[in-house]
Structure 1
Amino acid sequence: MFLSLRKISLTVALTVASMALAQHYTAHSHNDYEQKVPFWYALGAGATSIEADVFLRNNELYVSHEQKDINKEKTFDNLYLKPLDKALQLGIITDQPIQLLIDLKTEGESTLKSVVSQISKYPEIIGHKNISFVISGNQPAPEKFAAYPDFIKFDYQSLENLTPQQWQKVGLVSLNFKNYSVWNGKGAPTVDDLPKITEVIKKAKAFQKPFRFWAIPDGKSSWEFFAHAGVDYINTDHPKECADYLKKLDERTFKNTLVSEVYHPKFLYENKNIPVKNVILLIGDGNGLSQISSSVLANKGQLTLTQLKNIGLIKTTSADNFTTDSAAGGSAFATGQKTKNRFIGVDPSGKAIPNMTEILSGKGFNTGVITTDEITGATPAAFYAHQKDRGMEKQIAEDLTRSKLTFFAGGGRSKISGVDHFKVAGNAKDIAESKADRLSFYLSDNGVPQVLKGRGNILAETVEGALEFLNNKKKPFFIMIEGAQIDSGGHANNVGTIVTEGIDFDRAITKAIQFADRNPGTLVVITADHETGGFSIPHGDMASSTVEGDFTTEDHSATLIPVFSYGPGAESFMGVYENNEIFHKILKALKIK
């Protein structure tokens, strides 16, 4: 062992202190002595039950899996009792309970007598309320439980009832999982096995003792299943991975109550040569396929988005990076050129290039931008600004005053000045009725709240009003609508934010598709600038709108992004292509060169 005991102890102290209050599910470090650093590794990982197999040889207790593999240095005292005492002295063990499960491998009575004798040398350990010793393996019959000291409890491995006095000596109920199922931990137990498993857990829990299965499959699907099934100690040979997974399982599991009422498009444009006059581009920031899937599954299996039939994929790499940011991603959509990360509306050399709203304004179009970010955020800014860094908010705000936009809506009013030529709508309902030449609507003075923090349905209401406002002007229009905070959920690794922001984005999509059905010649394109979080959805329950998410990063990823399209010209957005091609496909659909 190359690390000093002191260094290991201090590292564990910091880790355990941070976990003590957060731990909800518990990991049992099976055959813990086979870890590279027995006891300390499991304790530092947050496991609350640790297993040691002990052999009595020549009046000494050794820890080993097989008697032939006994190492004279690896005694029960060296590997577990001394470290446990040290952890107690360092104040590591406070509110976090620690169970030491001692599996007697040699003759029971003599081995247990030696275990009791060795533990008795540590009165501070014995007297600590959160440290327990549970005897397994060659243990005495229940009739003899009472003959042992109070600090000795037993691992009862049966569903037969005991006397009240005997139950007082039971610290744990354990059963062999293979007696009830041959499930390998992939997917879920079969419909035949599931009732047997749940029934045995129910019977065991009725004894009001902690319960453990041994010989379970050892992986995330298994850990999730047994945790939610009510098993108290999850048996594992990977204590850190298991404890880390269980520690955040509740945090990563979200039960949704937000609803997007699914609209079924009419597809009236199909097989008709209808010219495109209006374009609605919806960008779900960070909205990768797994994010979309989580919203679908949490919305009872459908969204308005999933009613669409034309689907493509875009590659999102930027000019200087494998993984794009929103500035480069938004600029690719807005200008038709890939650029460097952090660049807004400029080419890789930093030269300003025309964006979609500028080009179309010059062709007689009205234009608009809506976002649930601040209006100076990277994605909306790409459609009106030209700056070499997305952080140049003051300069971006100045570009807004010079923009060709007819309408804009977003947060960050406190950062905007010099836009008196835009009339300000008092609320979303005023937008559609406004006769102003140019109109703005502010969702907030600073950052825009998330749906989970009370934003309500303001995005869909703003979209509905803005589309009518632009349509009433009797001119063709282009509008970019951003659901910005799916990305926030990815960066924060917050499943609830991803799900609810995605469903809220679908409510905006619904308004766009409904408008397209009422107004022939409207093309709707729905995509994302990138995926955020390396998000996956390994488990969940559609019936209760529950989703468990997992993450590989707190940043963006380079995964390909779906493109959904609806209306005349929608078929041209199918296939696999670069993100900047969105710009060119839109102009081609409008027959603008």
Structure 2
Amino acid sequence: MKRLHLLFLLFFIGNKAMAQPTSYSMKNTHAHNDYLHELPFYEAYSLHYGMIEADVFKQGDDLMVAHEKSSIRPNRTFKNLYIEPLLKQISLNNGKVYANGQRLQLLIDIKENGFEALRLLEKQLTPYRNYFDVKNNPDAVQIVISGDMPESIDFDKFDEIFYFDGRPRQNYSVKNFERVALLSTSITDFTRWNGKGLITAPQYLKVKNFVDSVHRIGKPVRLWAVPNSLTAYKALMKLGVDYIGTDNLSELANYIKNLEAFSAKPIAQHIPYLPMYQVDGIQKKSKNIIFLIGDGMGLAQIYSGIAANGGKLNWTNFKHIGFSKTNSADSFCTDSAAGATAFSTGEKTNNRYIGMSTEQQPLENIAEILDKKKIKVGLVVSEEITGATPASFYAHQPERDWSQLIANDLATSPISLTIGAGVESFRPETIEQLKKKGKVFTKIEALEQVKTKEKTFVFVDKNEVRPKHEGRGEYLSEAFEAAVKQLESTSPNGFFLMLEGSKIDWGGHANQLNYVTNEMLDFDKVIGKALEYADKNGETTIIVTADHETGGLSLLEGDFKTGKLEGSFSTNDHSGIAVPVVAYGPNAQIFTGFYENNTIFEKLLKCLRIK
């Protein structure tokens, strides 16, 4: 360690310090023992790896690619497996290694007879020297020699196209150190970590000190013998290691390429409302029901909001908690049509069906039932009002994409209030039908300006319901407040309001954690407003649930102080896991337990004392 210290001190004085990476891309990836894969070179190349490694043995007048001498096979030469495919790609890309201009390093690990093997490699590359001359060709591939390397004093005996994989315990002159492309060592020099959980604090500090000391002398760092796991890749990045190596090429590439999509930071945090709990769980008839559906909201989506908001949400203030099985009649993984139909009719149906039985017969929905009791129903969404979830509360169609037919059903339904986008799905004659039944507005503010007891249909511009992280503003909260005020003032017998946080689901389908998290935070603001209203009103029951989970989201890293998160998705579609149900106010205890999603319908009616 004394030599290491002196080495670093010497070069810290004479070399420009190198900062650790602030962001990672495929240029930071290292395909370890690439030749062991089914498609040497091509698999790593197709994934845009920044460093590709090959082990070579000198055998006669050729360089053979193999991990051990006993595994050498005919025709698996370095020229066949690497040089020729590489030159072909450079030709196809007009002189560039990658079409996008990304650079490539070939790490050649010479297993034995280093001096002779390097001389042979030098001879083989002479005809193509320009493609490896990084000093004179900005698009050149950098050749880095590792393994049985010549002594540093002999570096200048070889062509300048060759750079070397430095070692921390080796002495270098200033001139020879210029030929060192990076410094590498085994992570086992510092820790026996298995790639799961955390590196112990003392061992982590040893690794970090090493990485920082190499950066101070202006060189990048590579660690070998690191376990192959997402946890390990994340740890290396946190340590500031420049090259992230793996034997699992697709796993690392997927992680690196989705770093932005799989991370999140809150646009703004909010202070949760603290409920009074005076009427929570009491057994009396509920006058009003506010049914809040977080489309695609599973436990991970909820917890992303919790973490992003400093550890607490309005959602976490509920005391009555249950779980709903989300499967549809014909699929383990429901869609929103079947999921919302289960809520609105009490029947499980097939995916894509809107308010229809599995035999494609119309099912009486909760809006139609409540209309007989003169209880008004309102729908608020942050997407098109003809979307599968809102449509299931008024329409009867065997296909969720039949938006014009679904729009026609709204005109004949008993729904009293809608707020959402999607006017494009309504034919002029359908709009005229709506106008005959009530008022049609294009702004939420119109509900305040025009006092009316008629039915009201608010079609906002689609820009009003754009994703939260793209600047939606407070649309959802404002729409909730306007809807409650309108329904409360026009429905003396009580009201039923369904509000959907529609785009939590969209973020899951897009596999974008930031999208999901900020939609979750926005939805939670509405939950807080609903809780506050329930406390003031005393006769309102709040139910919050989801139709399904979207994305198969898992959370891998988080910071409660900054709200930053990292996670991953297992699918860009719905998953089949159960989702939470929470309730507040009179009869909230009805919603505890583990049950089928269609039984929520019965529970809603039970709150209202409707059989």
If the length of structure 1 is used for normalisation, what is the TM-score? 0.91
For 1:552-567, list aligned pairs within 5 A.
552-567=570-585
Task: Identify the match of residue 508 of structure 1 among 512, 526, 532.
Answer: 526
Partner Cα separation in structure 2 for residue 346 and residue 482 of structure 1? 21
For 1:264-275, list aligned pairs within 5 A.
264-270=274-280, 272-275=282-285
Q: Which runs of 5+ in 1 are unaligned?
A: 1-21
User: Any conservation in 2 of the 1:530–1:561 contact (CA below 8 Å)?
Assistant: yes
Residue equivalent to 1:170: 180
Partner Cα separation in structure 2 for residue 56 and residue 303 of structure 1? 64
Residue equivalent to 2:511: 493
CA pair 264-193 structure 1, distance change in 2 beyond 3 A = farther
| 2:470 maps to 1:453 | yes
For 1:124-273, list aligned pairs within 5 A.
124-127=130-133, 129-158=139-168, 162-270=172-280, 272-273=282-283
Secondary structure of 1:544 counterpart = coil
User: Any conservation in 2 of the 1:370–1:463 contact (CA below 8 Å)?
Assistant: yes
Secondary structure of 1:120 counterpart = helix
Could you tell me how far 1:27 is from its partner in structure 2?
1.8
407-416 vs 276-285, which moves further: 407-416
- Residue type matched to 2:472 in 1? R
What CA deviation, in whole Å up to 9, does each residue of 1:545-572 have, x standing for no partner?
A: 1122322222212111111111111111
CA pair 25-290 structure 1, distance change in 2 beyond 3 A = farther
CA pair 130-23 structure 1, distance change in 2 beyond 3 A = farther
Residue equivalent to 2:35: 33
| 2:53 maps to 1:73 | no
Secondary structure of 1:423 counterpart = strand
Q: Which runs of 5+ in 2 are unaligned?
A: 1-23
Secondary structure of 2:514 counterpart = helix
| 2:333 maps to 1:333 | no
Task: Identify the match of residue 319 of structure 1 among 323, 329, 332.
Answer: 329
Residue equivalent to 1:99: 105
What CA deviation, in whole Å up to 9, does each residue of 1:390-443 have, x standing for no partner?
A: 222222212212221222111123434122233346754554676311333333
Partner Cα separation in structure 2 for residue 273 and residue 495 of structure 1? 40
Could you tell me how far 1:229 is from its partner in structure 2?
3.2
Secondary structure of 1:55 counterpart = strand
Residue equivalent to 1:113: 119
Could you tell me how far 1:537 is from its partner in structure 2?
1.7
For 1:435-474, list aligned pairs within 5 A.
435-437=451-453, 438-444=455-461, 448-473=465-490, 474=492
User: Any conservation in 2 of the 1:25–1:246 contact (CA below 8 Å)?
Assistant: no
Task: Identify the match of residue 551 of structure 2 among 515, 533, 540.
Answer: 533
Residue equivalent to 2:20: none
Query: Structure 1 residue runs of 4+, over 6 Å off?
Result: none
264-273 vs 298-307, which moves further: 264-273
Residue equivalent to 1:310: 320
Could you tell me how far 1:259 is from its partner in structure 2?
2.1
- Residue type matched to 1:422 in 2? G
User: Any conservation in 1 of the 2:281–2:589 contact (CA below 8 Å)?
Assistant: no
User: Any conservation in 1 of the 2:464–2:475 contact (CA below 8 Å)?
Assistant: no
Secondary structure of 2:482 counterpart = helix
- Residue type matched to 1:380 in 2? P
- Residue type matched to 1:136 in 2? S
Task: Identify the match of residue 600 of structure 2 among 565, 577, 582.
Answer: 582
| 2:387 maps to 1:399 | no
- Residue type matched to 1:390 in 2? R
What CA deviation, in whole Å up to 9, does each residue of 1:180-208 have, x standing for no partner?
A: 22221112222222222222211222233
Residue equivalent to 2:87: 85
309-318 vs 246-255, which moves further: 246-255
User: Any conservation in 1 of the 2:132–2:140 contact (CA below 8 Å)?
Assistant: no
Residue equivalent to 2:392: 382
Could you tell me how far 1:148 is from its partner in structure 2?
2.0
Q: What is the aligned-residue RMSD (CA, Å)?
A: 2.2
Could you tell me how far 1:135 is from its partner in structure 2?
1.0
Secondary structure of 2:86 counterpart = helix
Could you tell me how far 1:59 is from its partner in structure 2?
4.2
If the length of structure 2 is used for normalisation, what is the TM-score? 0.89
CA pair 197-541 structure 1, distance change in 2 beyond 3 A = farther
162-171 vs 22-31, which moves further: 22-31
Q: Kindly tell me the number of residue pairs found equivalent between the two proteins.
A: 572
